[in-house]
């Protein structure tokens, strides 16, 4: 269906059949085993009555109040929708506003996600936000291990969240290595490291000093299966990937600006080729994970582009590189917009796209973070999302955009 609505900047035509030709091609090709593992970092949906509270970014709400106003049914249904489109779930991560939520809500997300028994599984972040205070690195280590063991008990794989305590304490290279090695030694694999750039969290500037990151990755490759890089630096990601691939460790890209070529593989600065061959498979949570000169994905933007990205990854599995890139190019443009500075407010764009698709009844985020983006930003997101094929129901999207234009 094609519907045109009046919008700031000119008419906006929504075509929910934009990807039909690509879908037809995939139906003709049939099924192919996936060549990339992709986790969608999923956001949290708030109940409509959350609007009555005075929570704000500069006046954050308490953990109990926040937990009481999460729409748990809708939040879990969103995860089912992502799983149905071929994505594992990255749970209780930054996309879920982990550091605003409070541990009680994060723990419930992990437990309920595990109870869904999703076809494509889940991975979740282990940190120390359940601790009231931290007085030593021993306490830090024990706290991370406690959360990681809970995740594994719920059936998930573990990604070690950045530990702000280390930057706040001005810790040096050796302390980072000692802390992470102590955590790894007490856990079963698989484990991923997460390097989150300061554009997402300014308090993490200078994280992994010196060669600490390499030293931690080298510690126990049988357990540490790789890393997620959220640095928005494709050249750095390429260097890390090519160093660790030799021992069958993998990179999950967290680069919401450059993900298309990083997932395809090879050198992102060179013309695209047919795609690197798969060198082999490594075990990741009891399932084979292809290895080679390419990145897997653990991305927030997948929350908003599940429909086109899921289709693109299926076509890539058939070697249809040109079609893959044709679909992913406008998705990447949308990613650059949703994650534009201040990057930390990207969740607002994801909740907005979900609302346009009729998957939730409001766009509210914890501490009303959606108010940090301007109306102009949301209208641009709507245009880019339509262009990317991320709006799956033209009638619903048009009705909601008309309402927005009149508000």
Return the domain boundaries, the chain.
33-374
Q: Which pTM value belongs to this model?
A: 0.95
CB distance 97 to 366 below 8 Å: yes
| Mean pLDDT score of the chain | 94
pLDDT computed for residue 288 by the predictor: 86
pLDDT computed for residue 268 by the predictor: 80
Instruction: Please state whether beta strands 12-15 and 2-5 pair in parallel, antiparallel, or not at all (unpaired).
Output: antiparallel
Q: Is the peptide bond before 40 cis (omega within 30 degrees of 0)?
A: no
Cα separation, 252 vs 266, whole angstroms = 15
Cα separation, 294 vs 291, whole angstroms = 8
pLDDT computed for residue 135 by the predictor: 92
The residue to which tokens 């990339």 are assigned: 36
Query: Using CA atoms in the order 395, 69, 370, 380, what is the torsion angle rounded to 10 degrees?
Result: -10
Q: How many CB atoms lie within 10 A of CB 193?
A: 21
Q: How many CB atoms lie within 10 A of CB 51?
A: 12
Cα separation, 215 vs 212, whole angstroms = 5
Question: Which candidate, 91, 126, 45, places its Cα nearest to that of 352?
Answer: 45
CB distance 54 to 105 below 8 Å: no
pLDDT computed for residue 312 by the predictor: 97
The residue to which tokens 């406690």 are assigned: 146
207-265 per-position pLDDT tens digit: 999 999 999 999 999 999 999 999 989 999 999 999 988 888 999 999 999 999 999 99
- Within 8 A by CB and 6+ apart from 262, the residues are 234, 237, 238, 253, 255, 268, 294, 295
pLDDT computed for residue 368 by the predictor: 97
* E-strand stretches of 65-144: 88-91, 122-126
- Within 8 A by CB and 6+ apart from 63, the residues are 101, 102, 103, 104, 105
Cα separation, 219 vs 268, whole angstroms = 29
**Distance in angstroms between the alpha carbons of the first and the last residue of the chain:** 25
Instruction: Write the DSSP string, 322-356.
Output: HHHHHHHHHHHHHHHHHTPSSGGGGHHHHHHHHHH
Superfamily of domain 33-374: Aldolase class I (3.20.20.70)
pLDDT computed for residue 276 by the predictor: 62
Q: Which residues of the chain have pLDDT under 50?
A: none
The structure tokens listed for 174 are 């050796």
């Amino acid at each position: 269906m094609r519907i045109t609505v009046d919008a700031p900047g000119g008419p906006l035509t929504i075509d929910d059949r934009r990807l039909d030709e690509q879908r037809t091609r995939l139906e003709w090709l049939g099924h192919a085993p996936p060549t990339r593992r992709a986790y969608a970092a999923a956001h949290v949906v708030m109940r409509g009555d959350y609007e009555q509270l005075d929570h704000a970014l500069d006046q954050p709400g308490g953990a109990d109040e926040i937990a009481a106003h999460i729409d748990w049914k809708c939040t879990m249904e969103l995860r089912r929708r992502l799983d149905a489109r071929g994505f594992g779930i990255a749970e209780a991560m930054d996309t879920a506003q982990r550091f605003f939520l409070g541990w009680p809500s994060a723990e419930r997300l992990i437990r309920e996600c595990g109870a869904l028994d999703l076809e494509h599984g889940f991975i979740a972040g282990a940190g120390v936000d359940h601790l009231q205070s931290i007085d030593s690195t021993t306490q830090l280590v024990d706290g991370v291990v406690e959360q990681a063991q809970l995740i594994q008990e719920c059936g998930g794989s573990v990604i070690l969240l950045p530990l702000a305590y280390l930057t706040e304490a001005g810790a040096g290279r050796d302390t980072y290595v000692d802390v992470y090695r102590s955590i790894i030694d007490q856990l079963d694999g698989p484990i991923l490291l997460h390097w989150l750039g300061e554009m997402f969290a300014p308090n993490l500037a200078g994280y992994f000093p010196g060669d600490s990151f390499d030293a931690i990755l080298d510690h126990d490759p049988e357990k540490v299966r790789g890393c997620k890089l959220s640095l928005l630096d494709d050249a750095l990601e390429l260097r890390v990937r090519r160093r660790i691939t030799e021992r069958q460790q993998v990179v999950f890209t967290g680069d919401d600006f450059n993900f298309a070529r990083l997932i395809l593989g090879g050198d992102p600065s060179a013309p695209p080729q047919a795609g690197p061959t798969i060198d082999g498979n490594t075990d990741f949570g009891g399932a084979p994970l292809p290895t080679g000169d390419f990145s897997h994905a653990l991305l927030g933007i997948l929350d908003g582009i599940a429909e086109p990205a899921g289709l693109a990854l299926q076509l890539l599995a058939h070697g249809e590189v040109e079609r893959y890139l044709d679909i992913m190019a406008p998705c990447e443009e949308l990613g650059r917009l949703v994650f534009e500075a201040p990057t930390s407010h990207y969740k607002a764009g994801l909740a907005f796209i979900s609302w346009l698709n009729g998957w939730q009844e409001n766009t509210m985020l914890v501490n009303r973070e959606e108010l940090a983006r301007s109306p102009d930003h949301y209208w641009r997101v709507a245009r880019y999302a339509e262009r990317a094929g991320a709006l799956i129901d033209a009638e619903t999207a048009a009705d909601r955009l008309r309402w927005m234009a009149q508000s």
